[in-house]
Amino acid sequence: MSARDYYYFNKPGVDRDTYLEDRLACDELAGGAARADYGAALANPALYNNNLTVGQNAVAAGLSGFLIALMGNRENRRLQWKIERICLADKGYRRFEVEKKLIREIEKIEDEGEQVDRYFELASRPDAIGEEMYE
Amino acid sequence: MKKIFRFMLLALMGCLSVTAFAKDKSIEIKPDRAYLLVQVDPIEYQMLGTNRMKMDVGFARYDVARNDIRGGFKSSENPVPEGESVRTLARKKPIAKDGKRRLYLLEVEPDTWVIESVGVSSGGALGVGSTSFSLGSYHFEAKAGQITDLGVFVPGRELSGNPDEKVTAGKVFGMALLGPFGGPKIEPVPLVLKIRERKADDLQLPVSMQEHEITYPAFVYGSSFGNYGGGLVNRIDGREGRTRATGETVYASMPGALKNEMAETTEVSGTVEGASISTPASSSVTKRAGDLDNEESGSDEVVADDEPVSITEPVI
């Protein structure tokens, strides 16, 4: 088992709002019920602005969390990544392996909106790059 | 010598009486409570031969309008009343067992219930991940005063092609030598659950309870909800379910003979053998358990909705 794989999810033509909704829904499942998340935000109107789209709310809430599992130990991180993969595959996304430096480069971007843009660009491109991985 | 023989005879009679008691453990059916009857089969995995592991199945009360477990994140406005349970687990006190198969009769609140999860606490190291069917499960109605027969649940592992998921002799020896922390790991995989009707060689309801009304529920597909167990997630039917329509209903636990009978009474055409019957979500079929194998009795009462019934190929 490698410590970590470097990959992105691709669903050609997916629109930005759908992509963000899908990622957040899967992040919610990956986080389980153990932490405050998108679901908790939905249940708490004080945290969730109904005048914004789900995607805009997500940006407002801080999106970097959904790309890397938050739980501390390695096993839990692996479990969260696995849940994310199963969930996104269920929504029609395929997974492609890319060079470590590409993912590291995106992760280093401090502006969360820009970081999401980069992932969305990879997710929506019609010609996926990299080698397809198992779910 | 006679004393020894008498002692052996008494011991044998004692064993027989214990067995008879275990096979006829009847439960009082209260008119204001609902009862879920379910057989849970063990999961099979290959590790130096075929092994079987007993599994637990979790059920929860479901909020259909909000797509969540009652009182969950999306259903916080619709919790169950104080003092009532939102979940139940088929895990302890089976009414019958055979090897690692278990038959449970769970007393629950009348409500809409969903099959929430399957798993076992010690299965992770062996690649059996406890799984919440958050991506798509079945919900069904459990009505007061009735035994709702959910059939036989057969769990299985769903592999993804990841080589780390394979159970190999090398990994097993490594785990045995180095322990759960230092040895090689078997990647836990999500589970699926097939539902089938109870057959003659399955565990049966105790004879004393077979006069009770048995209801075969319409299982409504596509129920989604939060991952409150914190384990893996999947659809109850795994990848096969990704193309299925939400809201599709099947009588997965209904005996074949009754399916045929129901099809005859509702004037449907098409091949019935081995097929599942789809009806509106609110429907169910009721029959006494003792009558199931007697197709010629002529006294069987089949209760179904007036809505048209269609026949579809089995999908679970």
Q: What is the mean pLDDT of each run of 10 residues along chain B (316 residues)?
A: 48 39 66 96 81 92 97 95 95 92 96 94 65 97 96 91 71 64 70 95 87 92 93 95 95 86 54 40 62 42 38 37
Burial class (CB in 10 A: 0-12, 13-18, 19+), B122: exposed
Please give, rounded to a whole number of angstroms, the shortest distance from the CA of A40 to a CA of chain B.
6
The per-residue pLDDT for B9 is 45
The per-residue pLDDT for A41 is 37
The per-residue pLDDT for B267 is 42
Q: Do A86 and B190 touch (CB under 8 A)?
A: yes
- Chain B residues with beta carbon closer than 8 angstroms to that of A39: 72-74, 226
Q: Which of A40, A90, A134 sits opposite B73 (nearest CB)?
A: A40
Checking if the pLDDT of A37 tops 70, the result is: no
The per-residue pLDDT for B120 is 80
The per-residue pLDDT for B180 is 55
The per-residue pLDDT for B7 is 43
**Domain parsing of chain B, residue ranges:** 30-312
Checking if the pLDDT of A65 tops 80, the result is: no
The residues with which B102 forms a beta bridge, in sequence order, are: B40, B97
Q: Is A87 on the interface with B (CB under 8 A)?
A: yes
- Chain A residues with beta carbon closer than 8 angstroms to that of B164: 1
**Domain parsing of chain A, residue ranges:** 7-130
Q: Where are the alpha helices (DSSP H) in A5-99?
A: 16-31, 38-43, 54-61, 64-67, 74-90
E strands within chain B?
A: 34-40, 43-46, 50-53, 56-63, 68-69, 87-90, 96-98, 101-108, 111-119, 131-142, 147-157, 191-196, 213-217, 219-223, 232-235, 249-250, 276-278, 284-288, 310-312
- Chain B residues with beta carbon closer than 8 angstroms to that of A33: 73, 226-228, 230
Q: Do B228 and A33 touch (CB under 8 A)?
A: yes
End-to-end CA distance of chain A: 15
- Chain B residues with beta carbon closer than 8 angstroms to that of A40: 73
A85-134 pLDDT, tens digit each: 999 999 999 999 999 999 999 999 999 889 999 999 999 999 999 999 98
Q: Is B69 on the interface with A (CB under 8 A)?
A: no
The per-residue pLDDT for B49 is 77
Please give, rounded to a whole number of angstroms, the shortest distance from the CA of B117 to a CA of chain A.
13
Amino acid sitting at position B137: S
Q: Is A30 on the interface with B (CB under 8 A)?
A: yes
Per-residue pLDDT, averaged over A44-66, amounts to 45
